[in-house]
Every structure is written in structure tokens, then in C-alpha cells.
Chains A and B, each alone.
Chain A
Amino acid sequence: MTAALTLLRGLAHRAGTTAVILLVALCATAAAAVGPTYYEAAKDSILQDTISSVSVVDRGLEAVAQGPAQNSIGTLRANVDDQMQRVVGSRSRTDRMFDADVLAVETTRFFTATGENVGLVWRTGVCGHLRLRAGHCPQSVGDIIIATSLAALNGWHVGDVLSPAGGTQLRVTGVYVPPPATDDYWFARGSVYFPNEIVASIANRENANPYDAMFTPQSTIDALHGNPQGTTVVSRVLHPQRVQPTDVDVLSRVAAHMTTSPVFAGQVTIITGLGNMTDTVHASWSALAIPVVVVTAELLVLTWLLLFLVVTDAVEARGTEIALAKLRGYGAARSVVFGLGETVTLLVVALPVGAVAGWLLTEALGKLLLRSGTPIGLPALGWAAAAVAAVGGAAAVIAAARRTLRRPVVEQWRRTGRRATDRGWVFDAVVLTGAVAGLVQLAVTGTFGSARRSALALLVPGLLGLAVAVVGSRLLPLACRAAYARTRRTGPLGPFLAIRHIARRPGGTRTTMILATAVALATFSMAAWSVGASNRSRVAQVTIGAPTVLTVAPPLGVDLGAAVSRIDPSGKHAAAVDTYDSGQGVLLAVQPSRFAAVANWKAAAVGDPGHLLSQLHPAAPAPIVVNGGEFRAHILVGRFNPAGVKLSLDVVALGSSAPTPIGLGVAAGAGPVVRTGSLAGCPCVLRDLQVESAAPGSTQLAGQLTLTGLEIRSGGGAWRPLPGVLDASRWVDSVDQQVAVRPSGGGIRWSFFAPVGTLPTLRVLDRPEPLPAVASTAFAGGVASMTAPGLDAGNLRVNVLRTARTIPSAPADAVVVDLDYAVRAAYNNLLPATQQVWVRGSDTAIQHGLKAAHIAVISRTTSQSLDDRFSRQGPGLASVLFLADAAAAAALSALAAVLSLAASARRRRYEYASLGATGASRRTLYSALAIEQTVVVGFGALLGVAAGLGSVWLAGANVPNFVVAPARDLLRHRPSVVLLIGVLGGALVLLLAAAMLAAAGLLRSVSPEQLRESQV
């Protein structure tokens, strides 16, 4: 008890030193605890971010079995459950991770009258995911609900009883509005249930079943005659908030097991992207794990060095007390306990307090950096790391105190001591060798100086800083010694004293070394952070394309471009953009001037987007719109070889996914023909006139005809000629040979030769042909004329007028064309395309405008949100951790340096008192102290900045900024000079100011009266 009281009184007596040691020890334990704590929390944040950003297929699994529709779902469900339990281990864990499973049985019913084969589906909880326009949910055997499209197509209503083939009658109890098929509930079956809304691609579109499914209770399926063939489905989707980092490995094994289990082989198809998701999560975790270890290790070593520095001074100050203990008969062990008791007590206190402080710091960091709602606890590893820091700190304390503890009592009193053997060079040589060896190893493994990115690059600043600091700190005393003679001969007393103190003070070297290393770390971390933040922002901006991108679904027939032009008359805030990604390239159909104003061109490093896009919209004829119930064509058929041709026109209804051919019959010989036909679903766009040989088998065809008139009428009224039809400049034949299209006798004369396999087509020209385009440099590959994907997923011929290295939203493989012309080229078939509105500035007004125009906004994405998500990935989180910890370490090192200098100067108070007594002015003494502190601190800081910048030059480009590296063209590796100068300069000024204040404070306590105090 008395010993404890003595210890506490000692700590209180040395309050300043106690505070500094405790602060450094707290920093060591906190820094150690922050790493694992931050990592565990970041893992959870990354996991939740990933789960919430991937498609439902990547966060769930679906088992699909073909076979009899009845009595099979139970078996499939049991098998799926059983196989999952084998991996997961417990039912409760499975139920925690996954939402309740969704079961479905799918079969079809054929309606003979209409020739329609319509899906009949039982799916658990389906009514909860459908909006009924009429009627109610099916409840009894034979009840069904049908889609609005199916109801409209067949004129079915609620209450109708349908009689499909197979005998079981179905009663319509409700009509549902087809939902977004990508909702989680539908998993991968949305495209099966709602084919009328989902068309996977143009290639199989015409073969797709266009009838949305009928939903019914399970009892209906069970009551079907003859147990028809069908599909049974069991799907389970992760519940994001309930999945924990410890579940990821299990999920990875679940994905692997379920997709390879022999139980399912050949009978059950497992659809899951869980493996992809867990791979992504693991990649992001790995990207964070190494930096956390490296950063924590570097900071731990630095704080241990700091502790060594501080404790050396502190124990030195207790030398007389330790000598007293020895004089009183304390043995070696007791002397050590007495000498180190206070410091070790501080370390013991620092362990829990530092760990908790690290936890609180992580919580604060987490609120800023991690996904909202991420739980942040203090894991066992955090405690262990803090304990390691404390033990390492104790080792540093013992190393620091060793000399004082071993010093004989008499030496302590006489203050002369044995001349210290200069073993400093041994320590320096060991540190230098280690640092250089580390750098060489990193260079050999390609961590820097190559294109390879590795988190081990974070070791470079520590190693280089240490190497530079070791060498540099030895140079300072040498330089001061070189100035001995000069200051002896001339100049004031201040510099004379200062350079001698610097040269002779052994602690100065350690101060310089630690300060330089810490500042090197801080410089590098700041540079790495600024580079990373800038790259993440740039990549996010280029990836998204504009500050805000709204994905919209305009009603059929609504011109998105025109709507956007009305909503934003200024042309500077919104742009309509239709895109189609074929996998090989991305078409961006844009409003050129708006696109130039709204897209993130600065991030794409395009200086003058207006000029880049200026030639995308040359003048072109308008489309020929056919709007009526009947048409009449006047054609003068010339001689064909072989004789006899079938004539047809193609029109495309607005929004239709395919042209509608209108047969004009066969013209057996030459001469004028007049053909009429009916139009359905128009207004339509006249697409082309086609001629086909009437002879059986494929053959070549050559000949000519003249289109002399095309008229329409509605409701049996008068025929009206279609304006512009007889303008020869509006027709083109781009598929045949020996083509001639020219005016002739008030009509258009078309002659051609079509080899075998081609269908002679005279197409209406309503756009530039090919379309003028701007393309990504890499995608164009130096070729001007090329084929790009069209908005209708077909081929689009474009003429690349200009290129840009990076195009917003599709940096390396974009083709930009005019929206109007691209829509015309697709004949208004925009189903495969994604329609967007890009917005710069607030999108509130734009969204209101879209709503007023009945244009639904399906999703909203911003560059900032992607930037935030990048920042929450491993590398982003690591860079902030590095920055925060290195800044703290640098601040701490600076504080320790100032305190060390002050402590050193305090031991010279008698010397200053003597100088004062012999006539040296206070100003002279202050200048001596100020010069000493400025030189030591300034030199250490500048050395650190130099080492930090050297590290940036060596390895700055190797620090990973992304989990998945983007195109190198998007990355820049030059740190913000303004930031570096501002922060480092400011810090240096503060540091020097603190040193000056410490010097002034010290000199205030110096007076000749001290000389009266006795000394041994």
C-alpha cells in the first residue's frame, strides 16, 4: 500500500513527464487497437456494402428442377435444405443468414383458340409482390390472376372462366400490373414470368413467349390433370443485415458445394452468384488487411521508439532516486521495480485505456468512413494488439532505462560517469541495414518501381524514412562541429552555444531520427491519401458519367429527349442519354450540347467537350410517319430477272421491338400496280420497301421498279399522299449491288442487282448514314468507319469524327452518337437500351419535371455515392487509417521532440544560470536555445519531408486505390502540392512556435539564485 502510494506520489510529482509517457503509451496501445478494431468493423461495412450493391443472384441461390409439376417441390426443398445444412452446420445459422425460402411450381396452359401458351405459376407469397389493378388474390383451386397485358390482348376480365387445353378450367380473380422483374423476390425468374416486359436480347426476341404468367394457388397445380411437366423452384436470398463477416467463408463453401454437389447433378440447376459475391468481399478485405498490418506495425515501432525517447529522459531524471534505493539496500530486482514501476504502471493503465480510446477513435472514424449503421466493437484481436503494444512498450522502457539502472550509485552522484562507449553506430548500422535490406527486397519483388500495386508499398516510407533519418541525424552533429571554428572566431554567443549543444547532445540524434521517420510517414500518407482520394473521385465521376444519373422509364411514345428539353430549357442541367452495352462496346446516344454541359468531362480530362461533340447532329431528313388505318401504294414494276416478284413494305410501330411487314402481293410482270393494305397499331415509321423473287428457292434478282405514290387514309376517308415520299434523297439501298435510286417521272426509280442470299431493300433515309460519332480512342483503334451496337441491339454503322481518351460512363469503349438519329436508327425500338437522364446540380427540379411528364424514375445514382463506396472499400479505408495514424504519430513525435529538447535544456539550467551570472543576456541565452531547437526540429522535419517525398516518388504509384483496378488512363499519381505545402508548412510553423515557447518558459525559470543550491 505504501509502495503504491509512493508510486502514485511520484507520478504526481512528475506530472508533466507522467502525462507525456502516458500519452505516448496511450497512443501506442490505441494505435495497436485501432488496426484490428477498424479492420473488423470495415469488414462488416465492406460486406454490407457488397451485399447491397450486387444483384440478387449474387446474394442468393435458386435451385431449379425440371420434371412433373406435382409433388416435387417438397423433395427439392428438402434436398436444398439438407445440402445447405451440410455446409452451414446449423439450421438456425441458415435461417439467420437467409430470408425465408421462396417456392414456386411453374407449368403452362395452352389456349387453343388463340394459340397462346401461357405460364401457370404457384409462388409462395406472390400476392404480396404484385399490385392488383382489379379483383383479388387467387385463393381456391382454379383461381388465377393475369397480367394487364394478357388481359388486354385477349379481352379477359375478372370473373371470366378460361378453358385451356388439358381440362382444368381457370377463373380470373384478378388482374395484376407487371412488377419490376428485377425485384429480389423474383430472383432469376422475373424474365420467365414477365416476358412481355423483359426481352433479353434482340436475337431471341421474336421467339420469346410474350405472355405474362398467370399466378394461382398450389392447389390448382395439384389439381391439374395428368401431372404435367413443369419447373420447381426453391430460392433463398441473404438478409443483408443479418450476415456477419464470419459467415462469408461459409457462404463461399455453400456456393461451391451447391453448384458441385452430386445430389443435384443433372437434375437440378443451381443458380447462384454467392461465390462471386464472397470473392469480391474477400478481395476487398485483403486490400484492407495488409495495409492495416503494415500501418499498425509501422506506427507501433514508431511509438515504441518514441516511448524509448521519452522514457530515457524520464528515467534519467529519476537517476538520483534509483541511486538512493540502491544505497538503502535495494537489490537489483527491487531497484528495477522501483525505477520502472511508475512507467510500467503507466503502460498497464495505457493498455485498457488505450484500447478503449482506440475503439472510440475507430467509432469516430467509422461514423465518417464506414457504411452507416456498421456496428463497431472492440474485438479480442484489438485487446491482443494493445497488449502487444504495451509489452513492446515495456521492452522499450527497459531498453531506455537499462543504462540508468545499471549505473553505479557513485557515478550517479558525481555526474561524471564512465565515458559512454560510443555504441550508437552499431544501432545505426543495424537499423540502416534493415531499412536498406527491406527497400531492396521490396524493389526486387516489384512492389515499387514497377506497375504492380501492392499494399506493401506502405512499408517504403517507414523504411526509407528510417534510412534517411539514420544517416541524416548523424550528419547534423558533424555539420555543427564543422561550424565550431567559425562561431568561435566571429558572431554572437547564441549560435556559438547552440551548435555546441546540438553537436554534443546525444539525445538530439534520436530526436531527429524519430521526428524524421514520423514526418516521412505523415508526408507519404498524406500524399497517398490525396492521390487516392483524387483517383477515387475521378474514377467515380467517369464511371457514373455525370454528378447524378437517373434511370427512367418513359411511357410508350414519349420522346425522352424532348421531355428533358422542356424540363431544362437552359440546356445546362439535364441531358437525355440512351445507352446500350453490347459487352464489346457501349453506345451513348446523347443530346450533344446538353451532354457536353452535363457530363463529367473534367474528370475525363476533356477540355472542350462542346467542340468534341459539335458535329454529331448534322441536318438529315425527318422520318416518314405513317398514321392511318389503310395505305395505298402506286408502283411501276419494271422488268425483273427472274420475272415475278413479291413486294412488301416494313413499318415500325412506335415502341415496337420489330418491324411489321405489310405484304403488297406478287407482281408477275412489268407494269403499274396499285396495292392497298391495312395498318394496325400505327402511327408507324415507314422503314423500307422490299422486293423478293417469287420463284421458288433462293436466287439472285436483278431489275427495277418505280415508286410513284404512297397514300394513307383513316376510317374510309380520302386518300392522302404521304409527304416527302417521292423525294429520291430520302431513299437509299445499302445492301445491293449496281444500285441506282433517282427521280423518274414523278416517282423514284430503283434499280439493283441482288446476289443470292440478299433481300433487296430500299430503305427510308432519315438520318446521316453512317452516323457521325465520337469514340473512345482505344475503342476506335484509329479506324474512322466502324460498326457499333445500336440502341435496338442491332448493328449501327458510324463514322468516328473525333476521339477522346476517356468518355464519361464508358471510359474506354464508348461510341457517342446523336440521340435523335440513334433512336431513328433503332426505329424507336429502345427496349434493349437503358434510358437515362444525366443531371448536373440539384436533380430535385428535374425529377419533378420527369414526374410531371409521367416519366418514372427507376433508379438514381450519383458520382458521389460511388466515390463514397470506393472510399469504403479496403484501399480507401486503409489510406484514411494510414493518414490518421501517421498524422497522430507525427504530432506525437513533434511533441516528444520539443519535450526532449526542453528536458535537455532543463538539465542545463545551471549552465544557463552561470552564463547569466557572468553577464550573458537573457536574449542571448534565448537565441541559443531557439537556434538549437529550430535547427534540430527543422532539420528533422525537413529530413522527414524529403524522405516522404522520396517515398512518394519511389512507391506512390504502387499503393492500391481500388479493389478492382480501373483503366490506368484514369489514374494520376501526383499528390496535391497545395495540400502538402499547406499542412506540412503549417505543422512546421506550429512545431517551431511550440519549441520557442518551451525555450522561453525554460529561461524564465533560470536565475543566478540557482547557483546557491548545493550540488554533490
Chain B
Amino acid sequence: MTTTTPSYADDAPAVRCDNLVHVYGTPGAEVAALRGVDLLVRPGETVGLVGPSGAGKTTLLWHLAGLLKPTAGTVEVAGHRLANMTPRDLASLRLREIGVVLQNPGRNLLPYDSAVANILFAQRPTRRSRAAKRRRALGLLEAVGLGGAATRIAGQLSGGEQQRLAVAVALANSPGLLLADEPTSQLDPVSAQAVLELIRAANVDNGTTVVAVTHDEAAAVALGRTVTIRDGRVGAEGRAGEDYVVVGRDGTIQLPPDLLEGLPPGTLARAVKHEHGVDLRRVYQPGEGHDQDGDR
């Protein structure tokens, strides 16, 4: 494991979070769900948000969908700073730029309406012609393997079919950003794989940027990079099969559990700067005497 500071290109990011803080407030109990998240997603990237339950992944995703107002920090999607946008503009942004797939297949759909009507429902506010909308809807259904189920009632489809339909609905308006909240968590492996392939195809074929919350390792592997959220912070990133810790803007880093075995909480470590970065050397571990030299 190495610590690194990724260098980003200067082109306009699909998603940019700067020091994003979100506090859920209930009287007598305020919970900080995000504690200063910095995230940059370039157009065409596929990013998986991983991390333990309650870490703040879904909250971050809702911020990206413009459904929450930051307590502090900023969120930009497709160059728009969401906090400055009116509800009308936000709705317009969601319509044009953002597709969302939720965890529960049924919740993505109008269960009483047909498959094609669900896609048309998502297209309804757009200005395209009725015929174009229908062509697009039927094309999407073909793409997700539901070409023969256009007129079937959504609530009567299987869970996997519903989630594929949900992806089709999310892609109805050709969004630049596809947000998915655990899109495969309630699916059998075959269905889950099919959904992942759909998402990947959207990315490959249309250049759609994908940010997906997932606990599913297969899903995480299928995505270009993973961002681990722990305790409301970005703790690590994974790229091309390698994991990196991420240095926070206050200089903090979160060590993954396997490294914590070597540097358990309470450990005194010496940070040694060198040409490629900084090394941490343990000089004291709770229950031991001081080791002035420390271990590398």
C-alpha cells in the first residue's frame, strides 16, 4: 500500500466535491454523515463508492443527485454548482444530466404501469417528439433485454427484470451522469451481472459517467476506480487493482484495516519525508516500550 496524491487533468469534471460536509440534524442528536469529502470524477469515468454501512456513501450519492443541500462545501455536477441552483434548475439538471438507479428495484418504477410507460414517464418532461421518445424507450428496452416485455406491467416483472428496467429508465434521457445506489444488492448473481454489463455498456457506448454505491466486490471490480468512504471521509481509492490511501485536506489519512494491524490506534509513528512521499515508522505501540528507532 502506498500513499499518493492523484493528479487530475484540467478538463471540466463530471463531478466535483470540495470539502463536502453534511450533518443530519434531529433535535438533540446531530450526526455528521460527511466530514469533508473531496471527490473528482472525470467525464466517462466509472466510480464505485464503497465502504462500510453508515459511512456516508448514499448521502454522498444523494448530494450528487442534487437531493440534499450541503452543510458545508460544494458539489458541482457537469460544471454546475448545485448549491447555487434553484429547485427548478435542479429538476432540469436531473432531467437532462442525471439518471438514478435506486437499490430497491420496485422503488425505481411505477409498479402499475407497463415497462415502456415507465421509460416514457421518465421522458415526459423532455421536449422530444412523442415518436422519438417511444423509439428511444423501445430501443432501451431492447438494450436491457426486455424488448419482449414492453407492455408488461412493471410490478409483475422479476426482481432482475425490474432492475434492468430501472437502468433503462435511468438512461431514458441519455444522462451524462448515472448514479446507482447498490444496483445489484438484491439480485441473484446472473441478474447482477446483467445489470453491471448494462451500466458498463452505457459508459462504453455513450461515455456516460457512472458513480455507483456498492458493497458488491464484483461490482466494484467492474468499475474503473473505487472510492472508499469511511466515517464520512474519502479513505482510499482503488485504481487498476491497486488501493491507495487518500490524504485529507487537513493532512489526515485513513489506513485500511490490514495496515491498522501494523499501526494500531494509539501508535506513535514517525513520518519521514523522502523523494516519493512520506514513510510512517512506528516508534511506540500501546503495551510496548518506546522504540526510538522505530520499525519501517
Chain A interface (Cβ < 8 Å from any Cβ of B): 2-3, 5-6, 9-10, 12-13, 320-321, 324-332, 334, 408-410, 413, 416, 419, 1014-1016
Bound CA–CA A327/B109 (angstroms): 11
Contact B92 A329, beta carbon cutoff 8 Å: yes
Judged by a CB distance under 8 angstroms, whether B19 is at the interface is no
Bound CA–CA A10/B87 (angstroms): 27
Bound CA–CA A338/B91 (angstroms): 15
Q: Which of B62, B91, B111 has the most CB of A within 10 A?
A: B91
Contact B65 A327, beta carbon cutoff 8 Å: yes
With A320-B107, A324-B107, A409-B67 as known contacts, state yes or no: A419 contacts B88, CB within 8 Å: no
Q: Which residues of B contact A3 (CB under 8 A)?
A: 124
Which of chain A's residues has its CB closest to B170's CB? A328
Judged by a CB distance under 8 angstroms, whether B26 is at the interface is yes
| Contact among A12, A330, A1014, A1015 with B91 in the assembled complex (CB-CB below 8 Å) | A330
Given A2-B120, A5-B117, A330-B125, 14 more pairs with CB closer than 8 A:
A3-B124, A6-B113, A6-B121, A9-B153, A324-B108, A324-B109, A324-B110, A325-B121, A329-B98, A331-B87, A334-B125, A410-B62, A419-B27, A1016-B107
Q: How far is the CB of B11 from chain A (nearest CB, A)?
A: 26
Bound CA–CA A320/B104 (angstroms): 12
Q: How far is the CB of A909 from chain B (nearest CB, A)?
A: 16
Bound CA–CA A327/B121 (angstroms): 12
Q: How far is the CB of A933 from chain B (nearest CB, A)?
A: 29
Bound CA–CA A962/B244 (angstroms): 93
Q: Which residues of A contact B117 (CB under 8 A)?
A: 2, 5-6, 9
Q: How far is the CB of B215 from chain A (nearest CB, A)?
A: 14
With A9-B113, A334-B125, A1014-B103 as known contacts, state yes or no: A329 contacts B91, CB within 8 Å: yes
Bound CA–CA A326/B67 (angstroms): 9
Contact with A along B102-139 (1 / 0, CB 8 A): 11100111111110010011101100000000000000
Q: How far is the CB of A314 from chain B (nearest CB, A)?
A: 14
Judged by a CB distance under 8 angstroms, whether B223 is at the interface is no
Contact with A along B156-172 (1 / 0, CB 8 A): 00000000000001000
Q: How far is the CB of A76 from chain B (nearest CB, A)?
A: 78
Interface size on B, residues (CB 8 A): 37
Bound CA–CA A334/B92 (angstroms): 12
Contact B100 A327, beta carbon cutoff 8 Å: yes
Bound CA–CA A347/B5 (angstroms): 61
Q: Which residues of B contact A5 (CB under 8 A)?
A: 113, 117
Judged by a CB distance under 8 angstroms, whether B186 is at the interface is yes
Q: Which residues of B contact A408 (CB under 8 A)?
A: 67
Contact B186 A331, beta carbon cutoff 8 Å: no
Contact B68 A410, beta carbon cutoff 8 Å: yes
Contact B87 A329, beta carbon cutoff 8 Å: no
Q: How far is the CB of A116 from chain B (nearest CB, A)?
A: 98
With A2-B120, A9-B113, A331-B92 as known contacts, state yes or no: A419 contacts B26, CB within 8 Å: yes
| Contact among B26, B27, B103, B114 with A1016 in the assembled complex (CB-CB below 8 Å) | B103
Q: How far is the CB of B27 from chain A (nearest CB, A)?
A: 7
Give the 3 A-B CB pairs with smallest separation, nearest first. Answer: A329-B95, A13-B112, A329-B94
Q: How far is the CB of B124 from chain A (nearest CB, A)?
A: 7
Q: Which residues of B contact A1015 (CB under 8 A)?
A: 104
Q: Which of A9, A327, A408, A416 has the most CB of B within 10 A?
A: A327
Contact A326 B112, beta carbon cutoff 8 Å: no
Contact A328 B95, beta carbon cutoff 8 Å: yes
Q: Which residues of A contact B186 (CB under 8 A)?
A: 1014
Judged by a CB distance under 8 angstroms, whether B173 is at the interface is yes
Bound CA–CA A1015/B103 (angstroms): 9
Q: Which residues of B contact A410 (CB under 8 A)?
A: 62, 67-68
With A10-B110, A320-B107, A1014-B103 as known contacts, state yes or no: A328 contacts B92, CB within 8 Å: no
Bound CA–CA A545/B39 (angstroms): 98
Cross-chain pairs A/B with CB under 8 angstroms, 17 sampled: A2-B121, A3-B124, A6-B113, A6-B117, A9-B112, A9-B153, A324-B110, A327-B65, A329-B93, A329-B96, A331-B91, A331-B125, A334-B125, A413-B107, A1014-B103, A1014-B104, A1014-B186
Q: How far is the CB of A48 from chain B (nearest CB, A)?
A: 54
Q: Which residues of B contact A413 (CB under 8 A)?
A: 107
Which of chain B's residues has its CB closest to A1015's CB? B104
Bound CA–CA A1014/B182 (angstroms): 13
Q: Which residues of B contact A1016 (CB under 8 A)?
A: 102-104, 107
| Contact among B94, B111, B169, B173 with A13 in the assembled complex (CB-CB below 8 Å) | B111
Which of chain B's residues has its CB closest to A2's CB? B120
Bound CA–CA A328/B91 (angstroms): 8
Q: Which residues of B contact A332 (CB under 8 A)?
A: 87-88, 91
Q: Which of A328, A329, A330, A1015 has the most CB of B within 10 A?
A: A329
Bound CA–CA A1016/B109 (angstroms): 15
Q: How far is the CB of A558 from chain B (nearest CB, A)?
A: 85
Bound CA–CA A9/B115 (angstroms): 13
Contact B121 A328, beta carbon cutoff 8 Å: yes
Q: Which residues of A contact B112 (CB under 8 A)?
A: 9-10, 12-13
Q: Which residues of B contact A331 (CB under 8 A)?
A: 87-88, 91-92, 125
| Contact among B94, B110, B124 with A327 in the assembled complex (CB-CB below 8 Å) | B94
Bound CA–CA A724/B32 (angstroms): 126
Bound CA–CA A2/B91 (angstroms): 21
Enumerate B51-106 residues with CB–CB distance to A below 8 Å: 62, 65, 67-68, 87-88, 91-96, 98, 100, 102-104
Q: Which residues of A contact B94 (CB under 8 A)?
A: 326-329
Which of chain A's residues has its CB closest to B118's CB? A6
Q: Which residues of B contact A1014 (CB under 8 A)?
A: 103-104, 186
Q: How far is the CB of B151 from chain A (nearest CB, A)?
A: 11
Bound CA–CA A9/B125 (angstroms): 20
Which of chain B's residues has its CB closest to A414's CB? B24
Q: Which of B98, B103, B113 has the most CB of A within 10 A?
A: B113
Q: Which of A320, A410, A1015 has the most CB of B within 10 A?
A: A410
Q: Which residues of A contact B173 (CB under 8 A)?
A: 329
Q: How far is the CB of B190 from chain A (nearest CB, A)?
A: 19
Q: Which residues of B contact A327 (CB under 8 A)?
A: 65, 67, 94, 100
